[in-house]
Amino acid sequence: MQFLFPFFLALSMLGLALPAAAQTPEATPATAIVLPAITVSTVENRILRDRAIVTGLIAPVESVQVAPLIEGQPIEALLADVGDVVHEGQTLAVLSKTTLELQKSQFVASLASARATVAQAEAQMLEARTAADEAQRINLRTAALRKQGSASQAAADTASSNAISATARMTVAAQSLEGARAQVTLVSAQADNIDLQLRRTEVKSPVNGEITQRNAILGSIASAAGAPMFTLIRDGALEMDADIAESDILRIAAGQKVVLSLVGTDAPLTGTVRLVEPTIDAVTRLGRARISLDQPSQLRSGMFIDAEVLVAERQALAVPVTAVGRSADGATVKQVRDGLVTQVPVQTGIRDSGWVEILSGLKAGDSIVTKAGAFVRDGDRINPVPATN
């Protein structure tokens, strides 16, 4: 028998069945079931933040264009340049006054002549009134004498005609006086207009701000029809004009906090949504929001910038994103209880930094399969291995 043992051993190694006489209890070892080791995670409470990614350009909150208030005058001096910070009322440029000063001299002379005409009209008015009063007295006396029979009818008619003529001359004198006074008012207004134009030869800043553009050229003719002489950023205030995807526009609201990322800077900048425009561009399908900046001095108009708008922030049940799978019924996770895998439908919410919010279907402390794509099915038994963070 001991000579046949090596033969039987060779047959066993080749996978051939041993003869019934050669099978012994000692040759059949007990087989143990080995369960697959699967990484599991615990449902836990975390602070999750819902963010909307936006991009846009830095732009002035309000641009102010400075144009000349008079035209046709050459520019004699430029007193400000791009980058200057100016205050309200500060002179930025000076226009020529020569033509206007000549016009003012003419109006001064015209005003003096009009005032002299008024004086003459007043004298004529006084003379006409005196003559009219005298003619009226003579008319009354002649009419009384006519009643007494001491004056003829012809004399009475003459006196009446003279009184009527004198009254008419007084009316004409009064109208002439009013015309002369009106001429004085007109010439005075024209002189005031010249004074106003002379003051406007100094082009002044209407607001406090920073000059971003200067189109004025020394010696050129000032005109409001072309480009503005200067462009200012009112109070130096900047904001971000953010383009927002149509799917995110309804989640953005005024007052939400924003974190901005600028190329070349390590520390993020912050801001706040100031307003959300009520329309969406029909071509690009993008909405627009305006974001106030907390550190405008670190930015320049025209910069391109990325930003994250904090839509919501709350503490909620969360699981790794990899633990959530999809089925015909929606989102699912594979819950593990005593080594038994059970597929559970869940409702998800915020996704943030590799975690997803669980609104329903699980509770804190539940164990789930970390990777939903692992080779385990509903009802399988596994050897759970806790995940290491």
51-59+234-313: what CATH class?
A: mainly beta
Share the mean pLDDT of the chain: 85
Lowest-confidence region among 15-19, 102-106, 307-311: 15-19
CATH: 3.40.120.10, 1.20.950.20, 2.40.420.20, 2.60.40.1150. Which one for 38-48+315-386?
Answer: 2.40.420.20
Per-residue model confidence (pLDDT) at position 32: 63
Q: List pLDDT tens digits, range 117-139.
A: 989 988 988 988 888 888 888 88
pTM of this prediction? 0.64
Tokens, residue 192: 């005031």
Per-residue model confidence (pLDDT) at position 378: 82
Q: List pLDDT tens digits, range 162-207.
A: 888 888 988 888 898 899 899 999 999 999 999 999 999 999 999 9
Return the number of other C-beta atoms located less than 10 Å from residue 245's C-beta: 14
**Local structure of residue 249 (DSSP, 8 states):** G
Domain range annotation of the chain: 38-48+315-386, 51-59+234-313, 65-93+205-232, 98-200
19 — pLDDT class (breaks 50, 70, 90): very low
147 — pLDDT class (breaks 50, 70, 90): confident
Label residues 119-147 b or e (16+ Cβ within 10 Å = b).
eebeebbeebbebbeebbebbeebeeebe
CB of 73 closer than 8 Å to CB of 201: yes
CATH: 1.10.10, 2.30.30, 1.10.3470, 2.40.50. Which one for 65-93+205-232?
Answer: 2.40.50
The three-class DSSP label of residue 297 is helix
CA distance 122 to 115: 11
